[in-house]
Structure 1
Amino acid sequence: MRGRRIPIALLVAVASVAGSTGPARAQVPAGKSGTPQFPGLGGAPGLPGPYGPTPTGPGIPGAAIPVPPTLPGGSLPGAGTATAGGPSMADLAGPVPGPATGFDASSPPAGAPVFSPELFAATGGDEFAIADVGGYIDGAIPRSRIRAQYDTAYGMNDPSRAEFFYAACGCLRLFGNDFSAKGPTQGLPNLLRNANGSLQVYPRSAFTRQPDGSLALPAGTRLLNAGLEPNIDFQEFTPYVEYAATPRFSAFLDTPIRWINGTLIDNAGGFSDMRVGFKYAFVAEPDRFLTFQTKFYLPTGDPERGLGTGHPSIEPGLLYFRALSDRTFLFGEVRDWIPIQASEVGGNVLRYGLGASHNLIQTSRIRIAPVVEFVGWTVLSGESLQASPAGGLTMRGAAGDTIINGKYGVRIGLGDYRQVGGASLLNDRHNVYIGYGNSYTGNHWYEDILRVEYQFYF
């Protein structure tokens, strides 16, 4: 039986169409595919970024997709006859392109911000997972976290200035100058100078209580330095918890425990003034935050033992964070501490700071970042107590007193910095800060301070 001949042109056309029907293979550069990039911090298509080259593929600029071969003469199967020099069956042999690999077609294009949800309390909308970078300046980024902070400081020379650290000296109350003064009285008054100039220590029983509540000195004596405490060393341990209800809003609580060591007053320890507050980020983007914070100070510490101010206070402020690159960060704050129902010594204190941090070491699991900060306080109103040469007590206006500190430390973060979907370059789960600060000015809350801090983000 005679076989039917199949035109060679038809075979060529069918083979050509078969070779072009497989899915196109996206040409993806080597590197971590599918990882979103931090806007403006590298990772342009085909160029290395902080997490490796940006992938290319369908719908992404720079994608390279093979096109099917052109049939000679532009004909379809059966539409004509192959001409000499057209493709042969050997030319069409070889593997058929398989499914595209190396990228997730459902992921956003390179440069689109993607925020990690598992490290943030909110469950919807854009979500951020950026950790703190400072050591002493308040963090601008609302985050759910637990923090334990320990400070040890030395050389406070005016602890009652504007009633910022603790209440005005109890000697004002004892001698009838200001009955709203609630500060330390242990050990006061007990250092007196006799009429001949010699120093004498008297027991409390030697002082007579007057009808107005003040104490009369023994005859022929005067109080040495009015009982003012010339030096305070202190330690504070501060547990802190913050919960971020949305990507822009969080509320926090800290309950410091304080120990003080004085020269004249008795040593003391216990709870200090509790602080509660909230943060709201007006600007909340992957590389920058501008946040309004309000902090309330509750007078839970015993003022007569130097553990608190003896009055409530409110402190509104602005906090700032900016990523300058994938490793370098800038941050700052401006806050106004406002006492409520304070004694005549109390006054407003403006605090401000600017700092920078750089991830000197940054791997997929750890980052080590030196931190430098400059922090200042300027007293806007209030008084400072001083001893007169005659052994009495004088008060001077503290407005204009300025204190400047330098702070130097290192923050060590542990996390997964290359996870898919984690656009943040500071995606810590845990971090530790160790830092030291010292005063540049004669006025100071302390001459030296050491801080150790641990944070866990949830």
Structure 2
Amino acid sequence: MGNLTGNSIWARFAIPGALALLLCAVASAQELKRLPPVEPADAETQAVFNMPTEPPFRFNTTPISFESQQPLPSPPETPEVVPIGPPIKIAPIEQQQPWEDWGAYQIPLNGCSTCGECRCEPCTATTRAGRFLWLIQHAVCCTDPCYEPAWRPLEDSAFFVNSARPQGTMRFRWDAGFGLSTPDRAEFFWAKPGRGPSPTGVYVPDVDYMTLYQYTETGGKKFSATFEYKYMEVDPEGAPHGAGFGDMTIGTKTLLFDNGLFQVAFLMKTHMPAGRVSRGLGTGHVSLEPIVVVGIHVAAESYLQIEVGEWIPIAADPTYGGSILHMATSFNHTLAYPAPSSPLIGTLELDTWSFQAGAYTNSLGQATSASGAMYAQTSAGIRWFICKDYDVGASLATGVTNQHWADFLFRTDFRVRF
């Protein structure tokens, strides 16, 4: 075999390559013939990656014309008159006896309220007196289902009257009394001469005092327990000055009735001797004090606090010690709202103490019967509820009878609720 030259080698590979390219071109032409024709794209449409195939939404910018709308019909010249029929006759009001006409009531008497619940039983009375008694019975025994018991500032604003509703409270109170006469009367303020402060003269005509109280109340919605202690400073006329801790008081409070109109509670206080008797810081004996407290809603922004209590000394001096009937009333009224949910409430109060037994030392140094006497004082105060948990207030009391506990008593409160 002869030797292969360079030209013969390229010729041997070029011929098969050309045939392969020709076959690929023929196959591509046949594949293109089988594809569907492609429509030309709109000139305004731009190629966007993953562009949707739906046509774009276009607003109709043609102006609206009102010329083609039909005009509204004009009103008739003479309006049509529709007869209303014959007048309705109202039955005459039945004649009632004078004792039956006790006023009308604007509350439902069918036994059901607007909260979807019913009272104990519907009212079947036909007279006003019967409906009145039915309302009293249901107010006491069947609480309105719409009523939600809750502490409210207006119910707890008095300075010298207890509140009916139990509420967790810590109170700091400061009293400054001037000119308290006959302090040994019935051994209510301090003990008789000899056991209590010994006068430098014949008797102690009056005394000035200052007292700081710390009061704590804790419990639930219907019951609470209370504890109070005090630090006193007494400055009597004609007797040595004294200062120190005074007697302590523990008690309980039970809410008996509670509805939207009134609340009734029972308090039981026990005053225990803890102060130094010879310095006038205590009475030297135990005292019990049952109290009934009533709260009445007289108006939307007015409330009445009432209490009646009996102070009963135990193991007191047979001659000087005696029971005292205490009654107090406070009228509370909202004066303003310096801020939302922050009322400013004013109070007007009247307190009386009726001495049922006991004695006191007169200007001759002799024991004189205290039975039948009455002390009375009035007070005016103002209390600001900063918010639901805090309030501050001050009150000024003065005696209105010839003999009284203090000529002037200035009281300030700061309370925290929890």
Pick the TM interval, shorter chain. 0.5 to 0.7
Contact 1:248 1:284 in 2 (8 A): no
Contact 1:133 1:329 in 2 (8 A): no
Which of 298, 301, 305 lines up with 2:275 in the alignment? Answer: 301
Is residue 268 from structure 1 mapped to residue 242 from structure 2 by the alignment?
Answer: yes
* Counterpart Cα distance in 2 of 1:229 and 1:385: 8
* Counterpart Cα distance in 2 of 1:251 and 1:414: 25
How many Å apart are 1:135 and its aligned residue? 1.2
How many Å apart are 1:286 and its aligned residue? 4.2
Cα 1:287–1:397 shift into 2, 3 Å: same
Cα 1:431–1:406 shift into 2, 3 Å: same
Q: Which residue of structure 2 aligns with residue 280 of structure 1?
A: 254
* Counterpart Cα distance in 1 of 2:182 and 2:367: 12
Cα 1:368–1:111 shift into 2, 3 Å: farther
Task: Give the alignment of 1:410-421 within 5 angstroms.
Answer: 410-415=382-387
Is residue 130 from structure 1 mapped to residue 152 from structure 2 by the alignment?
Answer: yes
* Counterpart Cα distance in 2 of 1:288 and 1:138: 15
CA-atom RMSD in angstroms: 2.1
Which of 135, 140, 145 lines up with 2:169 in the alignment? Answer: 145
Using CA pairs under 8 Å that are at least 6 residues apart, name the structure with larger relative contact order, 1 or 2: 1
Q: Give 5+ residue unaligned stretches, structure 2.
A: 1-106, 108-113, 118-143
Is residue 320 from structure 1 mapped to residue 342 from structure 2 by the alignment?
Answer: no
How many Å apart are 1:229 and its aligned residue? 1.0
* Counterpart Cα distance in 1 of 2:280 and 2:371: 23
With normalisation by structure 1, the TM-score equals 0.58
Task: Give the alignment of 1:187-198 within 5 angstroms.
Answer: 188-189=199-200
* Counterpart Cα distance in 2 of 1:281 and 1:368: 26
* Counterpart Cα distance in 1 of 2:287 and 2:316: 9
Considering only CA atoms, is the larger Rg found in Structure 1 or Structure 2? Answer: 2
Is residue 162 from structure 1 mapped to residue 186 from structure 2 by the alignment?
Answer: yes
Cα 1:295–1:114 shift into 2, 3 Å: same
With normalisation by structure 2, the TM-score equals 0.63
Q: Which residue of structure 2 aligns with residue 113 of structure 1?
A: 147
Q: Which residue of structure 1 aligns with residue 374 of structure 2?
A: 402
Task: Give the alignment of 1:170-319 within 5 angstroms.
Answer: 170=194, 182-185=195-198, 188-189=199-200, 224-225=201-202, 228-244=203-219, 246-319=220-293
Q: Which residue of structure 2 aligns with residue 51 of structure 1?
A: none
Kindly indicate which of the two structures has a greater share of residues assigned to helix: 2
Deviations 1:321-376 (A, max 9, x none): 11222211011110100001111201001110111111111352310011000111
Contact 1:260 1:268 in 2 (8 A): yes
Identity %, equivalent residues: 26
Secondary structure at the residue paired with 1:162?
helix
Deviations 1:351-405 (A, max 9, x none): 10111111111352310011000111010100111133xxxx3212100110110
Is residue 378 from structure 1 mapped to residue 400 from structure 2 by the alignment?
Answer: no
* Counterpart Cα distance in 1 of 2:214 and 2:260: 28
Q: Give 5+ residue unaligned stretches, structure 1.
A: 1-43, 45-55, 61-109, 116-127, 171-181, 190-223, 416-427
* Counterpart Cα distance in 2 of 1:411 and 1:387: 40
Count residues in correspondence.
Answer: 276
What code does the residue aligned with 2:380 have?
Y
Q: Which residue of structure 2 aligns with residue 351 of structure 1?
A: 326
Contact 2:205 2:363 in 1 (8 A): no
Secondary structure at the residue paired with 2:226?
strand
Is residue 361 from structure 1 mapped to residue 385 from structure 2 by the alignment?
Answer: no
* Counterpart Cα distance in 2 of 1:285 and 1:301: 41
